[in-house]
Chain A
Amino acid sequence: MTISDTVIEVEKLWTRRGGLTIHRDLNLRIARGEIVGIVGGSGSGKTTLLRVIIGLDAPAQGRVRLFGVDPLRARRAARLRVQRRFGTLFQNGALFSALSVFENVAFPLRELKYLDESLIRDLVMLKLGLVQIEPQHAAKMPAELSGGMSKRVALARAMALDPELLVLDEPTAGLDPDRSRGFVKLVKTLSHEYALTVFMVTHDLDTLTTLATRIAVLAEGRIVANGPLAEVQHSDHPFAASFFGKTEPLLHSD
């Protein structure tokens, strides 16, 4: 396998949903080690873009490559190999409600079929330790967890296979500012430690400023601004201007 520096590559992407064109000719490239945040107004197609990238939705036109492979066109084995190289954190955690915290994290490891039970047990406890979940919570069911905890367990599950790429959909949605700051710090630590590439969709400016090395602004179905925070902030696109302009005073008041 060649070590390519491009992790995500979106080329001339068009997406349509129910007669509505969501993305027109969208191009995006994310290199290894980057932490990229996508921002955009409600309904601008951020989450759809994320779903297309991880292969849950099919684009109408154009192509998406993950680690150099188009997951929708690859053969089953190749697709599976790609799927094991990234972990996804869904907006509401999407934990399996019928499985305990431990089983949720163990699930992807068990599916590999080549690890023995004691190794799986230690790996799960390791991942739960990474996200600061104490061992006594391992037997709990997802319904018994607080919002912040279930987010962290979902992160542990996303990290279960030691992915190279972490995909986050609104990582701090539904968390109070304190928890959300803690969660962002956690993601930052982990991404440094494991040299992760992170692709995230977020509304939260705090998350963007602490985490993202690059910000892409999605509007009118395209990426209208793309670069580090300082650069994007001064973009002259109306959405970017209002998004960063309006929230700027809040930053100073911190």
Chain B
Amino acid sequence: MTPASVQLQTRESGERVITLAGDWTLASLRSSVARVWKTLKAVAADPRLTWDLRRIGALDSTGALLIWRAWGERRRADALLRPEHEQILRRVAAVPPVERARWRADWLAPIVFLGRQEAKFASHALGFVALIGFLVLDALYLFTRPQRIPWREISATIYKAGALALPVTALVGFLIGVVLSYLTADTLRAYGAELYIINLLGMSIIRELGPLLVAILLAGRSGAAMTAQIGVMRVTEEIDAMATLGISPTLRLVLPKAIGLALAMPLVSIWSTAAALAGGAAAANLQLGISPQFFFESLPKAVPAANIWIASVKAFSFGAVIALIACHYGLRAKPNTESVSSSITNAVVAAITMVILLDAVYAILFRSVGFP
């Protein structure tokens, strides 16, 4: 590979000749493209210049493009070149000119942006309502034909989203219990109200933190997985294939996920609540000297059983909402990798936001239920 070179000479007759030599390829121009272009541009303006390209070894599109630009994007009839390079230059000549888009300040842009966002939100809301509509139709269909209920898929979801999530939810629950207990112990001791740690932990963990913690964990864990699965199935047209086989994608994919996660969530929530209480009791034992036995004996007096039911109802609806939002975003993913990844992000954010919103609604609904 010989580097590209440019040589300018003036003949005795006063004729100026520019000789290009060496290899004019992408690889050989690697370190010299800016320099070569500068040299060419400096002399290119002279219309009487004779171009001699016969000493060029290899010529590829990059080299040809540089020469073509130096010629002012038109063929120099008097240029001397090797016949095999003619075709390469002809290809370069066929490149369409740039259509320059003029940038103009658009004062309406913020309003257009707002409108777009609103339209996007409306289309999401509409899509979500349509999804629920399809699910209702599917449920009605299954009511008439119970043998079509996707038991396998439901049980697979319970296993994947529920059973496999047990270790991580237990660990996180336990640690949260320990942290809460430690943080409140000092304050309670200052007031001589050590025993109230049982009320405090019991109420906050059973009623609030258990279901919420599990919902947030599972939105990140199972919700993301659901969106990814359905999104990729859209990329590979598996959803379309399923529909043409006469299998409703909502019935096979969305319904079992929603049912499965809704069923698994209360169970995982109780499991995680138990772990958090164990953590709280352990920390209370170390900090305040309250024995675990006493802790769990006093718990039923401090926290009425209704709270477990409230927590389970909450967890059930959180599960359904997370699965539905995850599937909704998965089904809306466009068939490219970028869209799938942004769908997953949006699904997790939307699911967690919705869960917290719902939690607030429950707090108002049940404000006079379950207190001792």
Closest 10 CB pairs of A and B: A98-B338, A97-B336, A162-B60, A143-B335, A125-B95, A135-B96, A98-B337, A126-B95, A98-B336, A97-B337
Number of residues from B at the complex interface, CB < 8 A: 30
Chain B residues with CB under 8 Å of chain A are 1, 25-27, 29-31, 33-34, 60-62, 65-66, 69, 87-88, 91-92, 94-96, 98, 235, 334-339
Contact with B along A152-166 (1 / 0, CB 8 A): 000000000110000
| Also in contact, A127 and B61, with CB within 8 A (given A98-B337, A122-B95, A193-B87) | yes
Contact with B along A41-64 (1 / 0, CB 8 A): 000000000000000000000000
CA distance A123 to B26 in the complex (A): 11
| Interfacial chain B residues near A143, Cβ < 8 Å | 334-336
| Also in contact, A142 and B336, with CB within 8 A (given A115-B33, A122-B65, A127-B61) | yes
A-B contact pairs, 29 of them (CB 8 A): A1-B1, A84-B27, A96-B337, A97-B336, A98-B336, A98-B337, A98-B339, A114-B30, A114-B33, A119-B62, A119-B65, A119-B66, A123-B65, A125-B95, A126-B61, A126-B94, A129-B96, A135-B96, A142-B336, A143-B334, A143-B335, A161-B26, A162-B25, A162-B26, A162-B61, A162-B62, A193-B88, A193-B91, A194-B60
**Does A121 reach chain B (CB closer than 8 Å)?**
yes
Partner of B65, one of A126, A130, A193: A126
CA distance A1 to B23 in the complex (A): 13
| Interfacial chain B residues near A122, Cβ < 8 Å | 65, 69, 92, 95
**Least CB separation from B30: chain A residue:** A114
Q: B62 and A129: CB pair below 8 A?
A: no
CB interface residues, A 95-153, toward B, < 8 Å: 96-98, 112, 114-115, 118-119, 121-123, 125-127, 129-130, 135, 141-143
Q: A112 and B1: CB pair below 8 A?
A: no
CA distance A216 to B228 in the complex (A): 42
CA distance A145 to B61 in the complex (A): 26
